[in-house]
Structure 1
Amino acid sequence: MAADILKMTTSSPSTGRRPALAGAQVWYKIGSPREVGQPCGVNAIQQVSGRGRTALALTGEKKVETLIKKAIAIDAKRLSGGFGSKSYAVSNQTRCEAPKGRFGIVQSYPLYRLYQDMAYEDGFPTNKQIFAHKPVGVCFNRWTAKAK
């Protein structure tokens, strides 16, 4: 991923160098984001449930927004290179058997590719981290419980 330029309005950068004038444009450069994991999201996309004996099939399919977590107030639209406020279509499917006398539940969640980087000002690190969660697929949570 190529380095991206970010623009932010601030009254004083945290780098210890001369403060910017109120309302002045400060330019931040993002180095080379590195992938640090592939976490599942926490907000369910879809769910199916049923009383056994049955087969539960679920196709998790939805457009999911990129998540940006940052220590500086940057408009997410300024993060190009595959991030920003883009949304991605993700889908996958699974099947779960709920045995007789059990209640089965299957939930789908977005799967993200997590990137981390630091913002740089005038070539110096600002110690301000940026995390971008790019949707790349779907993960599932399946379980059964005793039916009443």
Structure 2
Amino acid sequence: MNVAMSLKTVVIWNQYSSTYLKSHIFKAFIRPILMYGIETTNLTKSEINDLRITEGIIIKRMIRVSNRCSTRNLFLDLNITPTKTFIENSKTEFLTRLIDKKLTNEIIEEMIEVNGIKDMWNSISHILDESEINNTQNIKLIC
């Protein structure tokens, strides 16, 4: 919220600011702070739902819309990726970055041999089909 107060003092954020600008500020500053490190954690459905609710409350307060407004429709109108999709995309991008590095590629190959990749990446398990995963190249193609 300190960022919001700073933006008010430089007259970027006031009652006349466009919703496009406010949604861009949300996507560029607020969401990355909320989702920092999310790709390395396994979240339950209730935790993902809590994040979705928090994001909805923040964006509704930013653009001064009633809390009764549907978060899903608001995100669609403002061209904001839904929370669950954003988390899945972050995790798949993180996994592909890990596969691109030599050392982490070897570690992931070993994990696949020992206990399968789904143990570590259960939140994107619907993307990763265990039958197709026998090496990191297949994972990279899937992601």
Answer yes or no: same fold by TM over 0.5. Answer: no
For this structure pair, what is the TM-score category when the shorter chain's length is used for normalisation?
Answer: under 0.3
* TM-score between the two structures when normalised by the length of structure 2: 0.24
Larger relative CO (CA 8 A, sep 6+): 1 or 2?
1
Structure 1 or 2: more strand by fraction? 1
Structure 1 or 2: more helix by fraction? 2
> Between Structure 1 and Structure 2, whose CA radius of gyration is higher?
1
* TM-score between the two structures when normalised by the length of structure 1: 0.23
